[in-house]
Structures are given as structure tokens and as C-alpha cells.
């Protein structure tokens, strides 16, 4: 029996190649999208779950409250985790990481290692990073001990055994010893270090007594709780702990700390405080929903085309019943046929995945999958899913087909009933609602991205080359040297550039009431040339100048937001007021216009600028004439090698650097676009099938109308209008839905576009346009047909 089913199913598929292609391709594409998104969702959810103690590890985070603001930091100061582990019995162990970027050298090999962490020796007791060589318990105990990832070990030592060998750290050539090699940290980890340097090295290298400086933040701290510890109960003990350890200091500084625990497994996706790498649970949900929708569209196609085509199979059903088939047997036959089609789609989907996974990795910006064969369980699930879709999508057509009365269908009196037609129309509307929603979503995401890219940021980043000396002492000499390179218009050295990291300093500023108001202010250390170079506007006072000897140590410039924070309604009023910051005291000499020194996702914060030559970053910004960029770059590189030969040449362009903040959004937009295209493609396949079927059904009607004098255009209109109506209804349903969801998405951006009505008009027009092309291409052909042909066939 089954053989007979498969045989006839296969012959049917072959006979109606067009329909079959639509059915199989639509389903395959839907399944592929679903498969890829499932990989993505699973990958995002898998972060840090592989550690055996993951359930007991928490990230310790800190809220820092000053009289004017609260900072929700994802970091702590050095002593916090250490003393918490000492004082609170629930904490079994702790490990801290301090990210850094150091110059590392071995003979002629030199790299500026940005995936570098100073780490406590307990790191490998908390986290499961398998050691290939060395002792996890002692590897990071001694000063100047270094643990490398396998990749880093290969980079520096090739095939040599790195254990016990020496690496030179920083330009000062601190001699360190490799004490361990770990397997490369998996992609789904919130921190992916290549080099771990023992934390105690900091004491020897920089005389940094991190265990005692409660106000010095920067450490990412993890604590391991004892089994069965209730984290919320533990959190309630933090205030007393902080008061006993650092209460006085907090009162003096008018700063209040609060500690919280974030489960390790939730840090990546759920924490609103960010971290080394953060995901977004909303995006995961959005994609999961999109995947389900695409699969839904594909299934709808399948049901629609199968039931529509039911009439063509009616005669076969009639005959089978006449020769003795039970209704159940017919139902089973059509379900097996539908499962067979789904299994074909499954095979095609596997091939598509095989081809598309590298592209998908590229789109998602991470190595989500090494290939389809890395996921045997997924393949099995997809296989079962294919069977299930076949079953679900097959049941309705099977029931419809098997309910045919043989005598009716064999007499040719059968026609599709109104209920079936209504169902098909509803399903088409659902498909187009999803497609239009995705088109509108894509338009909104891309418009927001465009808005962010083209917004006036308040500074000029065009043709600005930035050399990253990583705080090299000779950055100023380099800056002076490159000034003479042809094509260089102007340059400056600073500690930070827009879109990058900057320190945040405990500051006291004289406010309108004459009090010294405490605030944590981001601080840019810049030279005399920085403000004019970046074309940042001055609104009051003056910029730093060599004409004033005090500017190097006793002058500060604020932005408009900072001035407002301290209560001044006019920028001029802030000039001459006192400041105290990080041991420096002096006066406010100028106020600059607000500029976006962070991405447009966040509001422009208060900012302070002080004179300093490359403190921290040692970034040399160079404005270059457009036509000379390549030559200038080569000349600059030569200067670099002359002046700081120990460091590898590192540079970036300010505009690209700033836009890098939108990488996640760009990826989101890219993925959205791809899935929208898929959805509309599958919907159109379905529409194509339905229209062509409908047209065939009305073959005789078309003939009669033509005999009675109807023109081609009136017939095309007649055949198209029904479907266009459906698309229009879809627009009406999709628009408010999408408006609601995309408003929520946009709310995450401090600066965003308004959703205007015309976005939906465009999305609708695109859908109507595509539908129109599909519909008219089919109906024109039918309308041009010679009526004699259709009438004779009756």
C-alpha cells in the first residue's frame, strides 16, 4: 500500500512540476530559515553555560551613587570581591579580571595584545578552561606568570613548547614566564582572552595595590557561592558588609556603593549593564518569532496549494473510493504524500544550510556554527519537524480530499466550496501580514541606521586617521614628527576619541549655589589642537592654549550637558568656577557645544576635558587631505617605525571607528532584511500558486466573458482584484502591529526616527507591487487565450 502511495505521490510531484517546485522550495526555504535561526538562538542562549560551576557563579556588580547621579556599573573595585569572599561565608571563592592591552614581544614577534586580562590565580578554579599544559591551581600565582591560549602560544612560539619560556611585556620589557596553555576559549563566552597575566604582576609592574583601593574601579569580579546559597539572601548582606569595610570612606566621598549579583548564565543576554560582550534577549525573541512566522508562511503555502489543487485530485479520490478505498486510506495516502514532499524539502533544506551557514556566520558576525554536521541533534529535530509539518499541513487537505463523494466528483459536478475559499483567503492575508510587517520592520531598522550614520554628531570625523600608540611615552614625539608628512593638515594627541573608551573621574565642581558638587565625569585628556582639529564648537570662554601657563595643570573645559548638571542656565556662567579632579585643582576656562562622544543609543552625557598629552590612550589624530591618504599613511608608518620601533603599527579611521558602535544594529538590520526577503519570496510563491490555480478554475468563465465582448484588461482586472483586496487588508492589519513593536525597538535609542505613515505606505506598495507582478503575469496569459479552446473543453 505504502509503495503505491509513494509511487503515485512521486508521479504527482513529477507531473505538476510547477506546483511541486513551489511547494517544496517554499518549505525548504522556510525550514532553512528556521534551522539557521534556531542555531542563532541556541548559540545566543548557550553563553557561559558550559562551565560546570556555572550555576553557582555570579558576576558582582556595583551601583555607585553620588548626590547627583547613580551609575549602574558592571565592574567593581579590587577589594570588593576579595573582602566579600573573606567576610561572607556563603562565598566560596572569587576571581577578578582586569582587561588591558599590552605590547608583548618575543624576539622579532610583537603584538599589541588587546585580548589580554590580568587575572586572579583562582580563575581556573571557577571557570572550566581546560589546560593543555601547566597547573591550573598555580599557573597565575607568581608575578609575571602568563597563561596563553593555544592560538596565542602558536602565534609566539610556533611548534616550540612555550612552557617556561619568556615573553617581554610592555615597552619597558618586563620579563614574564609562560606557566600554562589553555584551549582556546569558546566563542560563546562573555570574555575571550588570549593572554592571562597573573594579577599580582600589577603590584610589581605598576605598584598598583589593587586589593586596598576601594575607589578604583575597573575589575570584573566573579564570585562562586557555596552550594544551595540563595543569591537574593546573600545580596541582602552586602550593605552591612560595605558599611563595615568602607562606610567611613563612602561618607567622606559622599558616594554610596551597592553590590548586586548577576547569574553568570544570564550576564550575556539579560544584563542591562553590558560587559565584555553582550547580547540582547529581545533580538533573540524577535528572531525566534520571525523564524516561526517564516515557517508558518511556508506551511500556509503548502495547505493553500494542496487544498486548491484538491479538485484536480478529486477524480482520483472518486475512483479510489469506487474501487473500495476507505476514507481513512485516502486520508493516509494524502498525508504520506505531504510528508514525502516535506522530506524532499528537508533534504533540500540540508543542502541549503550547508551552503548558507558560512554566509549566516558572516551576517551574524560570529562563528555560530562550523557547519551543519556539527549539529546531528538539530538534523534529527529538523527531520522530525519535517514529518510534523507534513502531517499538520497534510491533514487539512487530506480531510478535504477524502470527504469527496465519489459520485459527485466522477460526474464532474464538483467545485470548490465557499468555506475552503474563505480559509485560503484568510491564510493569504496572514502570509501578507507577516511579509508586510517584515518589510516595514526592515525599512524602519534601516532608516534608523541611516539616521544614526548621517546625524550631525557635533564634531568632524572625516579623513581623520588615528594612530593608536597604546599610551606610548613617545606619542607626542610621533605626533610632532608626522606633522611634516605631505598631506597632513593638522594633528593632535589625546587620551580618547569619540566612540572609544574614556576614563571616568571622581570630580568636584563648583555649582551655581557655590557648593563643590560631586559627580563622576567622563574625562578627555587633550592637547591644544584637539578641539579645533575635531571642529568641536566652543560656546563660551576659550580652549586650551600655550599662551596660558596654567592650562596644562589647572584648567578644565566642560560640555553644555555638564554645565547644566551643575545648575548653570548659561554656559558663560560656568567660566571661572572651581574644579577638583583626580588631584588636580583649577578653574573652568571654557564650555564646548555638546557632541556625540558615544553612540546615538545614549543621550549625550556631561563631559570634562583637561590638558594632557595622551594620558591613557596615547591616540594621535591626524587630519589628512583626501587625495593623499595612501601616500601619507605609508610615510606615517615609516615615522612610526623610526620612533616607536617596538610597537606594531596600529591605526584606524575616526569615522569607521565611530560607526563600529552600530555593528550590532547593522547586523540586526542585515538579518532582518534577509528574512524579510525570504518571507516575501515564500508568500509570493504561494500567491503565484493560488492565482494560477484560480485562473485555471475560471478558464471557462473567461472564455464566456470574451465571447460576450470582454477585453483583456477587464479580465485581468477581474482576476486580480480579489487578490489585491487581500493584500490591502493585510496592509491594514500589519501597519498598527508593526508600529507598536517597532516603537518599542526604537525606544532603546536615545535619538531615533519617528515612524511615519509613509513607511507603511512604502511597505504596502512593495507588497502590492510584487503581488501585482505575480498576478498580472498569470492573468494576462489566461485573458489572451482563445475562448474557443476553453469552451470546447466543456
Partner 1 sequence: MIKITELQKYYRTEEVETVALNSLSIDVQKGEFVAVMGPSGCGKSTLLNIIGLLDDLDEGSYKFNDIEVAKFNERKRSDLRKHNIGFVFQSFNLIDELTVFENVELPLIYTKVPAAERKKRVEEVLEKVQIMHRRNHFPQQLSGGQQQRVAVARAVVNNPKLILADEPTGNLDSNNGNEVMQLLTELNDQGTTIVMVTHSEHDARYSDRIIRMLDGQVVMTTVG
What is the chain's alpha carbon radius of gyration, rounded to the nearest angstrom?
Answer: 34
Q: Least distance in Å: CB of 32 to partner 1?
A: 30
Which of 316, 367 has the CB closer to partner 1? 316
* Distance separating alpha carbons of residues 684 and 775, to the nearest angstrom: 10
Least spacing, CB of residue 13 vs partner 1, in Å: 10
Question: Which residue's CB is nearer to partner 1, number 319 or number 351?
Answer: 319
The nearer residue to partner 1, 8 or 483, going by C-beta atoms, is 8
Cα(98)–Cα(216) distance, integer angstroms: 12
Shortest approach of partner 1 to residue 403 CB, angstroms?
Answer: 10
Nearer Cβ to partner 1, position 1 or 206?
Answer: 1
Listed ranges 233-241, 406-414, 477-485, 720-728: which one lies at the site for partner 1 (CB under 8 A): 406-414
Residue of 6, 8, 41, 505 interacting with partner 1 (CB under 8 A): 8
- Among 49-57, 257-265, 401-409, 754-762, which window interacts with partner 1 (CB under 8 A)? 401-409
For CA atoms 201, 205, 206, 209, the dihedral sign is positive
Rounded CA-CA distance 110/107 in Å is 8
Q: Measured from the CB of residue 666, what is the shortest distance to partner 1 in angstroms?
A: 51
d(C-alpha 640, C-alpha 647), whole Å:
9
Report in angstroms how near the CB of residue 423 gets to partner 1 at its nearest: 23
Q: Where are the alpha helices (DSSP H) in 403-534?
A: 406-410, 418-454, 475-482, 530-533
Which member of 11, 86, 781, 789 binds partner 1 (CB under 8 A)? 11
Cβ nearer to partner 1, comparing 330 with 342: 330
Q: Which is nearer to partner 1, 321 or 752 (CB)?
A: 321
Task: Decide if 683 contacts 432 (C-beta within 8 A).
Answer: yes
Question: Shortest Cβ distance from residue 690 to partner 1 (Å)?
Answer: 23
Per-residue x/- mask for partner 1, residues 353 to 392, rule CB under 8 A? ----------------------------------------
587 three-class SS: strand
Q: What angle do CA 781, 786, 789 make, to 5 degrees?
A: 110
Q: In angstroms, what is the minimal distance from the CB of 369 to partner 1?
A: 41
Query: 3-11: which pairs have CB atoms within 8 A and are 24 or more residues apart?
Result: 5/332, 5/333, 5/336, 5/337, 6/336, 6/340, 8/316, 8/333, 8/337, 9/333, 9/336, 9/337, 9/340, 9/341, 10/340
CB atoms within 10 A of CB 127: 24
Task: Give the residue, chosen from 12, 179, 581, 683, that forms a contact with partner 1 under the rule CB under 8 A.
Answer: 12
How big is the site for partner 1, counted in residues (CB under 8 A)?
A: 25
Q: Which of 167, 174, 192, 207 is CA-nearest to residue 99?
A: 192
**Cβ 14 to partner 1, closest distance in Å?**
9
**How far is residue 704's CA from residue 228's CA, in Å, rounded to a whole number?**
81
Closest to partner 1 by CB, 315 vs 564, is 315
3-state secondary structure (DSSP) of residue 38: helix
Vertex 30: Cα angle to 28 and 36 (nearest 5)? 100
* Minimum CB–partner distance for residue 340 and partner 1 (Å): 14
- Minimum CB separation of residue 405 from partner 1 in Å reads 8
Using CB under 8 A, pick the residue from 365, 406, 616, 787 that binds partner 1: 406
For the bound state, the minimum distance from the C-beta of residue 402 to partner 1, rounded and expressed in Å, comes to 10
Q: Which range binds partner 1 by CB under 8 A, 34-42, 111-119, 366-374, 407-415?
A: 407-415
Q: CB 738: neighbour CB atoms within 10 A?
A: 23
To partner 1, the closest distance from the beta carbon of 324 in angstroms equals: 2
H helix or E strand, kind and range, residue 105: strand 91-106
Q: How far is the CB of 699 from partner 1 (least distance, A)?
A: 19
Decide: 467 and 619 in contact? Cβ < 8 Å: yes
Question: Which CB atom, from 65 or from 327, has the smaller least distance to partner 1?
Answer: 327
Nearer to partner 1, 309 or 320 (CB): 320
Contacts 24+ apart (CB under 8 A), 346-349: 346/28, 346/31, 346/382, 346/383, 346/386, 348/24, 348/25, 348/28, 349/27, 349/28, 349/29, 349/31, 349/32, 349/35, 349/382, 349/386
Distance of CA 103 to CAs 111, 156, 174, 471, 612, Å? Answer: 6, 13, 10, 10, 22
Dist. CA 279–CA 180, nearest whole Å: 30
Query: Minimum Å distance from CB 406 to partner 1?
Result: 5
Quick one: 16 or 580, whose CB is closer to partner 1?
16
C-beta of 1 vs 750, nearer to partner 1: 1
- Of 709-748, which residues contact partner 1 (CB under 8 A)? none
Instruction: Find the length of the chain.
Output: 794
Contacts of 746 (CB under 8 A, 6+ apart): 444, 448, 752, 753, 755
Nearest residue (CB) to partner 1, 2 versus 747: 2
Do the strands 57-65 and 256-263 form a parallel or antiparallel pair, or are they unpaired? antiparallel
In this structure, the strands spanning 555-559 and 584-592 are parallel
- CA angle 475/478/483 to nearest 5° reads 130
Residues 282-341 that bind partner 1 (CB under 8 A): 315-316, 318-327, 329
Instruction: Decide if 275 contacts 76 (C-beta within 8 A).
Output: no
Pick the closer one to partner 1 by CB: 309 or 479. Answer: 309
Choose, by CB under 8 A, the member of 405, 453, 564, 628 that binds partner 1: 405
Q: Mask 101-140, x = binds partner 1 (CB under 8 A)? A: ----------------------------------------
552-571: which residues touch partner 1 (CB under 8 A)? none
Residue number with CB closer to partner 1 (20 or 460):
20
CB of 323 to partner 1, least distance (A): 4
Least gap, CB of 315 to partner 1 (angstroms)? 7
Residue ranges in 415-474 that form contacts with partner 1 under rule CB under 8 A: none
Residue in 203, 240, 347, 407 binding partner 1, rule: CB under 8 A: 407
* Choice between 15 and 209, CB closer to partner 1: 15
The residues, ordered by sequence, that sit 6+ positions from 695 with a Cβ below 8 Å of its Cβ are 702, 719, 778, 779, 781, 782
Query: Which positions from 176 to 205 touch partner 1 by CB under 8 A, shown as an x/- string?
Result: ------------------------------
Query: Does 399 participate in binding partner 1 (rule CB under 8 A)?
Result: no
Spell 626-661 as b/e; 16+ CB within 10 A means b. Answer: eebeeebbebbeebbeebbeebebebbbbbebbbeb
Angle value at C-alpha 84, between 83 and 89, nearest 5 degrees? 115
Least spacing, CB of residue 414 vs partner 1, in Å:
14
Closest CA to 232 of 134, 19, 90, 341: 90
Q: Which is nearer to partner 1, 248 or 413 (CB)?
A: 413
State the minimum distance, in angstroms, from the CB of residue 450 to partner 1: 54
Q: Is the dihedral of CA 287, 289, 293, 295 positive or negative?
A: positive
Cα–Cα distance between 350 and 32 in angstroms, integer?
Answer: 7
Nearer to partner 1, 342 or 409 (CB): 409
Considering only residues 6, 281, 399, 410, which one is a binding residue for partner 1 as defined by CB under 8 A?
Answer: 410
In this complex, which beta carbon is closest to partner 1, that of residue 244 or of residue 408? 408
Task: Give the binding site for partner 1 (CB under 8 A).
Answer: 1, 4, 7-8, 11-12, 15, 315-316, 318-327, 329, 405-407, 410-411
Amino acid at each position: 500500500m505504502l509503495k503505491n502511495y509513494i509511487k503515485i505521490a512521486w508521479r504527482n510531484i513529477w507531473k505538476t512540476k510547477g506546483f511541486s517546485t513551489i511547494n517544496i522550495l517554499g518549505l525548504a526555504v522556510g525550514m532553512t530559515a528556521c534551522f539557521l535561526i534556531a542555531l542563532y538562538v541556541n548559540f545566543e542562549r548557550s553563553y557561559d553555560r558550559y562551565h560546570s560551576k556555572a550555576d553557582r557563579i555570579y558576576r558582582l556588580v556595583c551601583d555607585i551613587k553620588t548626590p547627583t547621579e547613580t551609575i549602574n556599573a558592571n565592574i567593581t573595585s579590587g577589594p570588593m570581591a576579595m573582602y566579600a569572599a573573606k567576610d561572607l561565608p556563603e562565598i566560596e571563592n572569587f576571581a577578578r579580571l582586569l582587561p588591558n592591552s599590552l605590547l608583548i614581544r618575543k624576539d622579532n614577534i610583537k603584538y599589541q595584545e588587546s585580548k589580554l586580562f590580568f587575572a586572579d590565580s583562582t580563575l581556573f578554579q571557577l571557570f572550566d578552561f581546560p589546560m593543555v599544559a601547566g597547573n591550573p591551581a598555580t599557573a597565575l600565582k607568581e608575578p609575571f606568570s602568563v597563561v596563553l591560549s593555544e592560538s596565542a602560544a602558536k602565534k609566539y612560539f610556533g611548534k616550540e613548547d612555550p612552557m617556561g619560556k619568556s615573553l617581554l611585556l610592555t615597552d619597558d620589557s618586563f620579563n614574564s614566564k609562560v606557566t600554562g596553555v589553555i584551549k582556546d576559549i569558546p566563542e560563546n563566552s562573555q570574555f575571550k582572552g588570549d593572554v592571562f597575566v597573573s594579577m599580582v604582576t600589577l603590584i610589581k609592574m605598576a605598584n598598583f595595590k589593587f586589593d586596598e583601593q576601594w575607589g578604583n574601579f575597573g575589575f570584573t569580579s566573579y564570585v562562586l557561592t557555596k552550594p544551595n546559597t540563595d543569591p537574593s539572601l546573600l545580596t541582602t548582606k552586602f550593605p552591612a558588609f560595605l558599611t563595615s569595610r568602607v562606610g567611613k570612606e563612602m561618607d567622606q566621598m559622599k558616594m554610596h556603593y551597592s553590590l548586586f549579583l548577576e547569574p553568570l548564565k544570564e550576564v550575556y543576554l539579560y544584563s542591562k549593564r553590558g560587559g565584555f560582550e553582550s547580547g540582547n534577549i529581545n533580538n533573540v525573541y524577535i528572531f525566534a518569532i520571525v523564524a516561526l512566522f517564516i515557517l508558518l508562511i511556508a506551511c500556509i503555502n503548502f495547505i493553500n496549494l494542496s487544498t486548491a489543487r484538491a479538485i484536480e485530485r478529486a477524480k482520483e479520490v472518486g475512483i479510489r473510493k469506487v474501487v473500495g478505498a476507505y476514507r481513512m486510506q485516502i486520508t493516509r495516502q494524502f498525508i504520506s504524500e505531504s510528508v514525502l514532499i516535506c522530506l524532499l524539502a528537508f533534504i533540500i533544506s540540508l543542502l541549503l544550510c550547508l551552503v548558507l551557514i558560512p554566509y549566516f556566520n558572516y551576517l551574524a558576525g560570529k562563528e555560530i556554527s562550523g557547519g551543519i554536521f556539527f549539529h546531528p541533534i538539530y538534523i534529527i529535530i529538523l527531520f522530525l519537524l519535517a514529518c510534523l509539518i507534513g502531517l499538520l499541513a497534510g491533514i487539512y487537505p487530506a480531510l478535504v480530499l477524502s470527504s469527496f463523494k465519489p459520485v459527485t466528483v466522477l460526474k464532474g459536478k464538483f467545485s470548490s466550496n465557499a468555506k475552503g475559499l474563505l480559509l485560503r483567503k484568510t491564510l493569504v492575508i496572514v502570509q501578507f501580514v507577516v511579509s508586510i510587517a517584515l518589510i516595514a520592520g526592515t525599512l524602519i531598522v534601516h532608516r534608523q541606521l541611516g539616521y544614526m550614520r548621517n546625524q550631525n554628531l557635533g564634531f568632524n570625523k572625516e579623513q581623520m586617521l588615528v594612530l593608536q600608540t597604546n599610551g606610548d611615552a613617545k606619542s607626542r614625539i610621533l605626533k610632532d614628527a608626522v606633522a611634516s608628512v605631505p598631506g597632513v593638515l593638522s594633528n593632535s594627541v589625546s587620551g580618547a576619541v569619540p566612540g572609544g573608551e574614556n576614563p571616568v573621574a571622581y570630580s568636584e565642581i563648583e555649582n551655581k549655589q557655590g557648593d563643590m558638587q560631586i559627580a563622576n565625569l567622563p574625562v578627555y585628556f587633550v592637547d591644544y589642537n584637539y578641539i579645533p582639529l575635531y571642529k568641536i564648537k566652543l560656546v563660551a570662554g576659550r580652549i586650551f592654549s600655550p599662551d596660558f601657563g596654567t592650562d596644562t595643570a589647572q584648567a578644565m573645559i566642560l560640555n553644555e550637558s555638564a554645565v547644566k548638571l551643575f545648575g548653570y542656565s548659561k554656559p558663560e556662567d560656568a567660566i571661572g568656577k572651581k574644579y577638583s579632579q583626580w588631584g588636580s585643582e583649577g578653574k573652568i576656562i571654557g564650555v564646548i557645544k555638546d557632541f556625540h562622544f558615544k553612540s546615538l543609543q545614549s543621550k549625550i552625557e556631561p563631559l570634562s576635558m583637561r590638558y594632557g598629552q595622551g594620558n591613557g590612550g596615547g591616540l594621535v589624530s591626524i587630519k589628512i587631505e583626501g587625495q593623499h591618504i595612501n601616500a601619507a599613511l605609508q610615510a606615517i608608518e615609516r615615522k612610526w617605525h623610526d620612533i616607536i620601533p617596538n610597537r606594531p603599527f596600529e591605526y584606524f579611521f575616526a569615522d569607521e571607528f565611530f560607526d563600529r558602535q552600530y555593528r550590532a544594529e547593522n547586523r540586526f538590520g542585515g538579518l532582518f532584511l534577509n528574512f524579510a526577503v525570504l518571507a516575501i519570496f515564500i508568500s509570493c510563491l504561494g500567491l503565484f500558486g493560488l492565482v494560477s490555480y484560480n485562473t485555471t478554475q475560471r478558464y471557462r468563465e473567461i472564455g464566456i466573458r470574451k465571447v460576450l465582448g470582454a477585453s483583456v484588461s477587464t479580465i485581468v482586472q477581474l482576476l486580480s482584484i480579489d487578490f489585491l483586496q487581500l493584500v490591502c487588508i493585510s496592509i491594514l492589519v500589519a501597519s498598527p502591529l508593526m508600529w507598536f513593536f517597532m516603537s518599542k525597538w526604537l525606544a532603546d535609542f536615545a535619538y531615533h526616527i519617528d515612524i511615519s505613515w509613509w513607511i507603511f505606505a512604502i511597505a504596502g506598495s512593495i507588497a502590492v507591487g510584487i503581488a501585482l507582478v505575480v498576478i498580472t503575469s498569470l492573468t494576462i496569459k489566461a485573458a489572451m487565450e482563445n475562448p474557443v479552446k476553453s469552451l470546447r473543453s466543456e
